[in-house]
């Protein structure tokens, strides 16, 4: 038996299910990037809106690169199980808010058709940092990136989210349809502003008038999204099938906690996501910075140190005193320069993060978080570092986190493993340019597309990272083949 609308009534009583008829829902949101995170987060908040009786806000979800999710969920009518695992709790519910599914390059024409549909009011995106093709240090669009070049050459057959959104907006402009709102749900600072810059930057390279129209008419609200959601494993699938008594091709496993803070700037309406617990706020940049620095900054630190000390999961890395001490010091450094949202106690906030990271029921792999470091470090660790440099205070924990990332790149280069990072080629080349610790640190720090001119040319910072890099090497035996 397979999960679907027809089998919903066969679910055990303790498994939640849509409190509405999914076949009556109208899709007004098109979501690009139909991964686990979206299904654990926005789709769940939207499910609560539908359950309140407002059936206008279903989601048409599109996988940008692959059709895997479409193939898994189409036979289930878009239904899937969301399994929230707390330290001592487990809650399962079937989500029904994704009512249409598209996927893969071959569906790009259908995605464009949906974008041009006047009934689509919001295009939301979770495509991770690298999907925006922004230079990590400057935040400017990288028009030279190969996929962007190809979309600029063939704007009617786009493959990137920028190409898709710009083409979708252009079709609406040609047809006299008001533009949809573009809502970024990625872990970037001021993600709406960055999405706007990327979209307008791409459009400007094609057609200046179109770029101006987008600048004048399209809303790009910022959002802070938070829910730790590891990739689903085969074991999860088997466990969930056992509980729900039927097969679900792609359930999602997540933590019990979830948070969503949204800037209320939508030109064609929006669901009342606060019904599901989201917060509409004017203080969005503060929320984003707190989360990106405290949660994601600590995550990256745990990931690189975890990878170096053979701790596969966040929880096991947190249980290693050497690592958890570094994370504690890191939080002190971050909090000292943090402009937190009003009424939030950042001490309590990091205590709650500690509990979430220690959740024994979530196997969140450090290898997963360690990917795309070049795209993540700037907002997670370099931003608080810059704030500290401006106050002329040292940042030994941040320096250690950066040294750990450098060792991770060196280790990947020497063991000939794959580095998951859009800058993999240059990173691996730079990390293997010399066997001398000092030269490795200076060369990696010299990558201004990550560190920016200011940090690249800061000798005190280089010395601080080098000290930590050498400490990891000499005292802790990391990368024994390099020379001190």
Least distance to ligand CS2 from the beta carbon of 178, Å? 32
Question: In terms of CB distance, is 292 or 462 closer to ligand CS2?
Answer: 292
Q: How far is the CB of 170 from ligand CS2 (least distance, A)?
A: 32
Looking at beta carbons only, is 267 or 368 nearer to ligand CS2?
368
Query: CB-wise, 203 or 318, nearer to ligand CS2?
Result: 318
Q: Tell me how far apart the alpha carbons of residues 142 and 202 are, in angstroms, rounded to a whole number.
A: 9
Token pair 């580095």 is found at: 419
**Residue closer to ligand CS2, measured from CB, 48 or 370:** 370
Residue number of the CB closest to ligand CS2 reads 299
Residue number with CB closer to ligand CS2 (43 or 200): 43
Pick 114 or 356: Cβ nearer ligand CS2:
356
- Bridge partner list, 61: 31, 101
* CA–CA distance, 3 with 361 (Å, rounded to integer): 24
Where does this chain bind ligand CS2 (CB under 6 A)?
187, 226-228, 295-296, 299, 368-369, 376
**DSSP string of 367-435?**
HHHHTTHHHHHIIIIIHHHHHHHHTT---HHHHHHHHHHHHHHHHHHHTTPPP-STTHHHHHHHHTS-S
From the list 5, 19, 10, the residue with the least C-alpha distance to 80 is 5
Q: How far is the CB of 439 from ligand CS2 (least distance, A)?
A: 29
The candidate with the shortest Cα–Cα distance to 125, out of 66, 173, 165, 71, is: 165
d(CA 364, CA 92): 19
In whole angstroms, how close is the CB of 129 to ligand CS2 at the nearest point?
9
Tokens 């055990």 belong to 12
Nearest distance from C-beta of residue 227 to ligand CS2, angstroms:
5
Distances, alpha carbon 263 to alpha carbons 187, 223, 480, in Å = 15, 6, 49
Q: State the nearest-atom distance from the C-beta of 74 to ligand CS2, in Å.
A: 26
Number of helices (H), then strands (E), in the chain: 22, 11
d(Cα 198, Cα 213) in Å, to the nearest integer?
A: 15
Positive/negative CA dihedral, 361, 366, 372, 373? positive
CB 263 within 8 A of CB 284: yes
Q: Which is nearer to ligand CS2, 65 or 367 (CB)?
A: 367
Tokens of 461: 């910072």
Compute the distance between CA of residue 210 and CA of residue 200 in angstroms, rounded to an integer: 9
Rounded to the nearest 10°, the torsion over CA 423, 425, 431, 433 is: -140
The number of CA neighbours under 13 Å toward the Cβ of 219 is: 20
Smallest distance from ligand CS2 to CB 16, Å: 22
Q: Rounded to the nearest whole angstrom, what is the least distance from the CB of residue 143 to ligand CS2 in the complex?
A: 26
For residues 409 and 443, give the distance between their C-alpha atoms in angstroms, rounded to a whole number: 12
Q: In the bound complex, what is the minimum distance in angstroms from residue 295's beta carbon to ligand CS2?
A: 6
> Minimum CB separation from ligand CS2 for residue 300, in Å?
7
Residue 4 or 259 with smaller CB distance to ligand CS2? 259
Nearer to ligand CS2, 73 or 228 (CB): 228
Nearer to ligand CS2, 362 or 397 (CB): 362
Q: Report the residue number, 76 or 307, with the smaller CB distance to ligand CS2.
A: 307
Residues 128, 256: Cα–Cα separation, whole Å: 22
Biggest distance spanned by C-alpha atoms of the chain? 66
Q: Nearest approach, Cβ of 153 to ligand CS2 (angstroms)?
A: 32
SS3 state of residue 458: coil
């Amino acid at each position: 038996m397979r999960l679907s609308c027809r089998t919903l009534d066969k679910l055990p009583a303790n498994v939640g299910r849509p409190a509405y008829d999914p076949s009556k829902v109208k899709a007004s949101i098109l979501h690009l990037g139909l991964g686990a995170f979206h299904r654990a987060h926005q789709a769940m908040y939207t499910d609560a809106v539908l359950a309140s009786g407002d059936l206008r806000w279903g989601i048409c979800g599109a996988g940008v690169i692959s059709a895997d999710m479409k193939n898994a969920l189409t036979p289930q009518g878009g239904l899937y199980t969301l399994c929230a695992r707390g330290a001592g709790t487990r809650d399962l519910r079937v989500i029904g808010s994704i009512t249409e599914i598209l996927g893969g390059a071959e569906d790009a024409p259908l995605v464009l058709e949906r974008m041009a549909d006047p009934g689509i009011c919001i295009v939301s995106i979770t495509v991770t940092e690298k999907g925006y093709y922004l230079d990590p240090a400057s935040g400017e669009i990288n028009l030279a990136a190969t996929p962007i070049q190809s979309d600029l050459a063939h704007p009617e057959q786009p493959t990137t989210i920028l190409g898709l959104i710009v083409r979708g907006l252009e079709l609406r402009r040609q047809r006299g349809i008001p533009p949809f709102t573009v809502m970024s749900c990625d872990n970037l600072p001021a993600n709406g502003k960055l999405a706007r810059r990327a979209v307008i930057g791409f459009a400007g390279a094609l057609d200046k008038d179109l770029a101006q129209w987008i600048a004048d008419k399209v809303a790009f609200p910022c959002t802070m999204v938070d829910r730790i959601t590891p990739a689903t494993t085969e074991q999860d699938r088997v466990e969930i099938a056992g509980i729900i008594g039927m097969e679900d091709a792609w359930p999602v496993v997540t933590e019990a906690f979830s948070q969503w803070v949204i800037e209320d700037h939508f030109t064609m309406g929006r669901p009342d996501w606060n019904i599901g617990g989201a917060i509409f706020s004017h203080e969005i940049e503060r929320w984003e910075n707190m989360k990106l620095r405290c949660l994601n900054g600590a995550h990256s630190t745990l990931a690189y140190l975890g990878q170096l000390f053979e701790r596969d999961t966040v929880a096991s890395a947190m249980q290693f005193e050497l690592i958890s001490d570094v994370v504690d010091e890191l939080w002190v450094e971050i909090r000292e320069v943090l402009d937190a949202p009003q009424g939030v106690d950042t001490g309590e906030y990091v205590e709650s993060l500690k509990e979430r990271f220690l959740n024994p029921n979530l196997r969140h792999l450090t290898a997963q978080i360690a990917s795309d470091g070049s795209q993540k470090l700037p907002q997670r660790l370099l931003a608080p570092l810059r704030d500290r440099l401006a106050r002329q205070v040292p940042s030994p924990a941040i320096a250690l986190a950066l040294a750990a990332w450098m060792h991770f790149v060196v280790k990947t280069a020497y063991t000939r493993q794959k580095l998951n990072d859009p800058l993999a080629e240059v990173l691996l080349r730079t990390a293997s340019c010399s066997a001398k610790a000092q030269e490795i640190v200076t060369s990696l720090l010299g990558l201004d597309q990550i560190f920016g001119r200011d940090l690249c040319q800061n000798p005190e910072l280089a010395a601080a990272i080098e000290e930590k890099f050498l400490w990891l090497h000499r005292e802790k035996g990391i990368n024994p083949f390099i020379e001190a």
